[in-house]
Amino acid sequence: MNNIVIMGLPAAGKGTLCQRLSQQYGFEHISTGEILRSEQAKGTKLGNMATRVIDSGGYMPDDIMIPMLKERVIASDNAVGFLFDGFPRTKEQAKHLHAFLFMRKQPIASVIFLDVKKNVAVERLLKRATIENRPDDTESAIVNRWNEYEQKTLPLIDYFSKLGLIETVDANGTTDHSHAQASVIIDRILKP
């Protein structure tokens, strides 16, 4: 099994890339943002809490997100591996994921960092706002999402670099451009 973390600012293209890679290689795509949005749509207690947090651009608490992620991994029978999209987002989440997968003898094979400029990201988000109507694609929520990302998620680049796991993809171009670079990394990882 090969487990890959996909990191990057909001609108770096994590979800778009993961969908394509999961179809191409058979990975299971786990997007914690999507899990929370489906809880919101169902109107569960967790979903209602997520609405308050996500729509303002904040992060959900680690003590909710870490068990949620582990349960999802344990419940899966996928043999290729996971693409983690939007998890980990904090140092605590990163430490737990690293240790959890290590214990399962399925350690993280790579952390792909989708490196995008803020002005490129904001254009994509504002465009998506007109199409998908995601409540966190407003200007104030986008600013909060960036602040959360810079304070809590960006330090993970250093954390994973020290483990020798970071690989950077230039995510400022087309979806094909990001995909081509990520495919080279994954082909190398999957090579017997």
Contact footprint for ligand AP5 (CB under 6 A): 8, 10-16, 31-33, 36, 53-54, 57-60, 65, 86-87, 89, 93, 124, 128, 136, 145, 174-175, 178
**Residue 16: count of CB within 10 angstroms of its CB:** 17
As measured in angstroms, the least distance from the Cβ of 66 to ligand AP5 is 9
Nearest to residue 185, comparing CAs of 116, 109, 80? 109
d(CA 29, CA 56): 25
Contacted entry of ligand AP5, Mg ion, none for residue 175, CB cut-off 5 to 8 Å set by kind: ligand AP5
Q: Would you count residue 173 as binding Mg ion (CB under 5 A)?
A: no
| Smaller CB separation from Mg ion, 87 or 160 | 87
Binds Mg ion (CB under 5 A): choice among 5, 7, 9, 15: 15
CB nearer ligand AP5, residue 105 or residue 131: 131
Output 15 or 47, the one with its CB closest to ligand AP5.
Answer: 15
Rounded Cα–Cα distance for residues 146 and 43 (Å): 27
Q: What residues contact residue 25 under an 8 Å CB cut-off, 6+ apart?
A: 80, 186, 190
Tell me the two tokens of residue 158.
């250093």
- If you count them, how many residues does the chain have? 192
Shortest distance in whole angstroms from residue 186 CB to ligand AP5: 17
Instruction: State which H helix or E strand residue 149 sits in.
Output: none
Nearer to ligand AP5 (CB atom), residue 122 or residue 191: 122
| DSSP-based three-state secondary structure for 62 | helix
Residue 166 interaction partner, one of ligand AP5, Mg ion, none, beta carbon < 5-8 Å per kind: none
